[in-house]
Structure 1
Amino acid sequence: MINILFLHAGAEMYGADKVMLDLIRRLDKTKYKPYVVLPTNGVLVDALKKENIDVSVLPYPIMRRKYFNFKGIAQYGAGLIKYSNQLVRFAKKHSIDVVHTNTAAVQEGSIVARKLHIPQLWSVHEIIVSPNVMFKFTSRTIAKNSAITITDSQAVKDHLLESGYFKDNTIKVIYNGVDANRFNPGNDSSYLRKEWNIPADAMVVGMMGRVNSWKGQKDFLKAANILLAKHPNMYAVLVGAAFAGEEWREKELADEIGKSPYKDRIINVGYRTDSEGIYKLYDIFVLPSTNPDPLPTVVLEAMATGKPVVGYRHGGVCEMVKEGYNGLLAEVRNPTDLAKKVDTLLSNEELRKTMGEHSRDRLLENFSIESYVKNYSDEYDRLTADK
């Protein structure tokens, strides 16, 4: 039995949360014993308990912007030492063989692995554009303390290599996978049209993602206003909430929507748990991340549901969307071009249908959940081969 300690940056249910949950729930439990320690309570804790996974909550600090000041650095450092020592004791108690650290924002795994002389597998899901000092710091830490670094896209791997701290053979790309049975074209969305008062014949263009500084809600809204003016039978839908403590971003977005002359056809619902039905509701899925997004899980889920995708031409989206085949890519930070690309699909029902079918095909061929789990399992085996 290989005992694995999973450390993660939160307990919500966005991209990195979902893919970790999918991996853990599908590991061969006759061979691997997962122990999960999270820094906070939340829906991810509940989901893990439902799967009978050993999960604990320990408030270890996560590297966030709130610590980017003298007082914050001191608080973070003290918390890092305190809770890393508690994690070391936890790891000893459970005879942990591998530390699996999920996201660059979690630094505690390095201390646990170093003190106990066990390998650390570090999954990186971020492309840190700024501040550069944080990119350099996390890259150096990850390179120094990982037995293997796993990225979820070639875009993330290339970004890490730019730091100068990694050798090419120390980073491996493992594409995330999603459950193609859970997210499929046969899902029901009729209840959402009733709940949100969307006419049966209306077209729906939507996005889903964390409300933050770069997921692109403002660009989506600008593009939506252009499209809503041209298509009176179109509705725009935004799904997602902000980090705790950043609720002002949600208010700011709601205020912007309130200024739109088409606000009656813009639906902003915050965080939802019924993403299966939401993807089915959409005719076109849009993710206009203004910074390069590593490999957004929401795009994979939309693809699995058979939807064409429109995004900006950078980051991992370029590895998921084969332009002209299952979606279209717009100029980065150009809402007008984004609207143009979406309009191409709105105006051509046959093209939407064909690209949607291609999305499903491409997902099954390149981003299957089975390959995702097998690839990680192979790494656990390799790291503990001498056990």
Structure 2
Amino acid sequence: MQNILYLHAGAEMYGADKILLELVTGLDKSRFHPIVVLPNEGILKDKLEESGIETYVVEYPILRRKFFNPKGIIDYSSNYFKKSKEIVKLLKGRNIDIIHINTTAVLEGVYLKKKLHCKMVWHVHEIILHPRMIYKFLSYLIGHYADKCVAVSKAVKNHLIESGYVKEDLVDVIYNGVDSKRFNPDVDNKYLYDEWHVPEDALKVGMIGRVNAWKGQNDFLEATKELLKKYPKLYLFIVGSAFEGEEWRVIELKKRIVAIPEHNRIIFSEFRTDTPAIHSFLDILIMPSTNPDPLPTVVLEAMSSGTPVIGYRHGGVTEMVVDGQSGLLAEVNNPKDLENKIDQMLENGSYVEYGQKARKRIINYFSEEKFISNFSSLYSMM
């Protein structure tokens, strides 16, 4: 049996968090023993423990923008070595075969690989455009220390190779998977009509994602505000929270919503755990990320739920959505084109047919079973 140590950047329940939970709970426990170490308490830790996964919390530092200054570098470095040694002590006497780093924001694996004398898989979920120095630095670490790099999409793989530090044969592409039984068109969502005071004949268009600088909430509002006038039955939904310390982003978003005359048909909700119901509730999911999103889990979930996706034509969404078949893609960072694509799907009611094709595509190419099988094969070969 292989002991696999997983390091992750948080304990919430957004994309990469869900993928980690899906992977470690789905592995064949007669072949693999997962040990997860998280940097803080949270819902992910609770879910892991509920599933019987060996889980610990060690408050190791995560690479964030707040450390990109002289004092931050000193603080990060001090905590990095202190907490890495704490993890080594925690695992004393354990034979760790593989370290699986689940994000580029966690660098502790570099230290632990040497101390624990094991192989390393670096699982890359990000496309880092800025700061370019950080992109180059992380690419160097991946190329120099990883025994195998797993990219969540071809877009991520190509971005890593373009750095000049990561060789093509180091990187495998393993698409994330989704539980098509949990995310399906028949999930009960009736309670949402009552909770959000929405009529049952409403047209429901929404987005789900972290409220940050690039997930595109502003583009979503820009692309839909005129459509609210055209379609009296149209309701908009924005679901998501900001990082701790960036709550001001939510305040600003609410101000923008209130400034729209039809704001009584715009529902904002911070992070929720009932995403299967929300996906089956929506008629169309919008993916307006202004930076290329590597392989957004929310798109997998929506498509699995029979909900078509309209997004910008960049990043991993272009590998998930077949434009004109299982969804529509708009010109990058062009809210007007995004508006036209939404209008097109609403006007002819084609979102039902698009949604049916979207679910078929997920089952054929992005199943949870295929995702877990691919990682199991990778681990076995190391």
In structure 1, the residue matched to 2:47 is 47
In structure 2, the residue matched to 1:200 is 200
1:10 and 1:348 map into 2 onto residues whose CA distance is 42
Alignment of 1:243-322 (within 5 A): 243-322=243-322
2:326 and 2:212 map into 1 onto residues whose CA distance is 27
In structure 1, the residue matched to 2:143 is 143
Residues 336-373 of structure 1, C-alpha deviations (whole Å, 9 max, x = no match): 11111011111112x21111010000000110100100
Alignment of 1:315-354 (within 5 A): 315-349=315-349, 351-354=350-353
Alignment of 1:72-111 (within 5 A): 72-111=72-111
Shift of 1:116: 2.4
Residues 246-303 of structure 1, C-alpha deviations (whole Å, 9 max, x = no match): 1111111111111111110000001101001100110001110000000000000000
In structure 1, the residue matched to 2:230 is 230
1:140 and 1:88 map into 2 onto residues whose CA distance is 24
Q: Is the 8 A contact 2:96 2:116 kept in 1?
A: no
Identity %: 51
In structure 1, the residue matched to 2:38 is 38
The farther-off stretch of 80-89 and 275-284 is: 80-89
Q: Is the 8 A contact 1:23 1:373 kept in 2?
A: yes
Q: Is the 8 A contact 1:129 1:135 kept in 2?
A: yes
Shift of 1:90: 2.7
2:227 and 2:70 map into 1 onto residues whose CA distance is 46
For structure 1, list consecutive stretches of 5 or more residues without a partner in the other structure: none
Structure 2 residue identity aligned to 1:233: K
> Secondary structure in 2 aligned to 1:379?
helix
1:104 and 1:91 map into 2 onto residues whose CA distance is 22
Structure 2 residue identity aligned to 1:136: K
2:170 and 2:202 map into 1 onto residues whose CA distance is 49
1:342 and 1:382 map into 2 onto residues whose CA distance is 45
In structure 2, the residue matched to 1:373 is 372
2:229 and 2:93 map into 1 onto residues whose CA distance is 62
Q: Alpha carbon RMSD of aligned pairs, Å?
A: 0.8
1:257 and 1:21 map into 2 onto residues whose CA distance is 34
Structure 1 residue identity aligned to 2:76: Y
Structure 1 length-normalised TM: 0.98
Structure 1 residue identity aligned to 2:365: N
Residues 301-336 of structure 1, C-alpha deviations (whole Å, 9 max, x = no match): 000000111000000000000000011111111111
Superposition misfits of 4+ residues, deviation over 3 angstroms: none
Q: How many residue pairs align between the two structures? A: 382
Q: Is the 8 A contact 1:5 1:91 kept in 2?
A: no
> Secondary structure in 2 aligned to 1:95?
coil
2:246 and 2:80 map into 1 onto residues whose CA distance is 23
2:380 and 2:190 map into 1 onto residues whose CA distance is 45
Alignment of 1:101-180 (within 5 A): 101-180=101-180
> Secondary structure in 2 aligned to 1:242?
coil
1:262 and 1:280 map into 2 onto residues whose CA distance is 24
1:111 and 1:379 map into 2 onto residues whose CA distance is 22
1:367 and 1:53 map into 2 onto residues whose CA distance is 24
The farther-off stretch of 220-229 and 91-100 is: 91-100
Structure 1 residue identity aligned to 2:352: K
Structure 1 residue identity aligned to 2:243: F
In structure 2, the residue matched to 1:25 is 25
In structure 1, the residue matched to 2:66 is 66
Q: Is the 8 A contact 2:151 2:172 kept in 1?
A: yes
Shift of 1:83: 0.8
2:312 and 2:70 map into 1 onto residues whose CA distance is 36
Shift of 1:89: 2.3
The farther-off stretch of 137-146 and 169-178 is: 137-146
2:358 and 2:348 map into 1 onto residues whose CA distance is 17
> Secondary structure in 2 aligned to 1:92?
coil
2:348 and 2:192 map into 1 onto residues whose CA distance is 24
In structure 2, the residue matched to 1:356 is 355
1:206 and 1:218 map into 2 onto residues whose CA distance is 13
Structure 2 residue identity aligned to 1:84: S
For structure 2, list consecutive stretches of 5 or more residues without a partner in the other structure: none
Structure 2 residue identity aligned to 1:354: E
1:324 and 1:150 map into 2 onto residues whose CA distance is 29
Shift of 1:121: 0.4
Q: Is the 8 A contact 1:91 1:112 kept in 2?
A: no
Confirm whether residue 57 of structure 1 aligns to residue 80 of structure 2.
no
1:192 and 1:120 map into 2 onto residues whose CA distance is 43
1:176 and 1:91 map into 2 onto residues whose CA distance is 29
